[in-house]
Structure 1
Amino acid sequence: WVAVDRALRLADRRSFPADRQRWLEVRDRIYEEIMERGWNSELDSFVQSYGSDSLDASSLIMPLVFLMSPSDPRMLSTLDAINRSPQQGGLVSNSLVYRYDVTASPDGLNTDEGTFNMCSFWLVEALTRAGKTDRAKLDEARLMFEKM
């Protein structure tokens, strides 16, 4: 989705030749597929891959690349799911974010996974953007950032 969306923006801004209508249709089909197949209604969250029941911090990028509004109810519930401790099914430990749960999604590496600073910043930014409509999210983002 991002690649096609950015190609459209680039073509528009630089007056590059593009099959604009086709690219719009492709981008919109990808969006619909992500919304339908990337959402897990049991977890009330976007997940690592289609049909998965594993959270993935990469879903925090969705509002950052303008795939969806940071205040979309699905994004807010994804934020809530990720922002729980690993013991509660989430990805956050001491204000730091794991990319995903390696026990639920084995990656073939025979080591424990650490938290990723970038994922922690993604969560802070996603919470900050969601805080425009939910003051508690903004406060949560500030506290998390201060602990990092």
Structure 2
Amino acid sequence: MSDVLPEAFAEIADDFHALTGRDRLQLLLEFANGLPELPERYAEHPELLEPVPECQSPIFLATEVEGSGRDAIARLFFSAPPEAPTTRGFAAILAEALDGRTVGEVIDTPETVTGELGLAEVVSLLRLNGMAGMLARIKRQLREKAGL
């Protein structure tokens, strides 16, 4: 396990750290607005998505693996209501940083990544734990689907 942030996460963290508190919150809301829509295969079958009970707001996720093993490509999909912008923002950050990466890169992402964004001063620890819960579920699903 590496404590080095994946490149995309490092870039996002740099963006957040370049800002002050309120502007960090604004950037999180911008991420929330950019959360990709669910593809039809999930939008029409929400039962295929896994809930993330660590989140205060209802969020669901699914992963897909293209290939097998650590070199397989990870695909991430999230469903979060518009009235939960913090949760949507976290999901969008995870999607931007990890979707399309190898399963190995995602699995090697340190759990501490949620604290690396500098958001502890603008959102509660409970909300940050929700993002950590999303990451843990993503990793578990990818391990199962990639045969690791």
TM over 0.5: no
Structure with greater strand percent: 2
Larger relative contact order, structure 1 or 2 (CA cutoff 8 Å, min sep 6): 2
Bigger Rg over Cα: 1
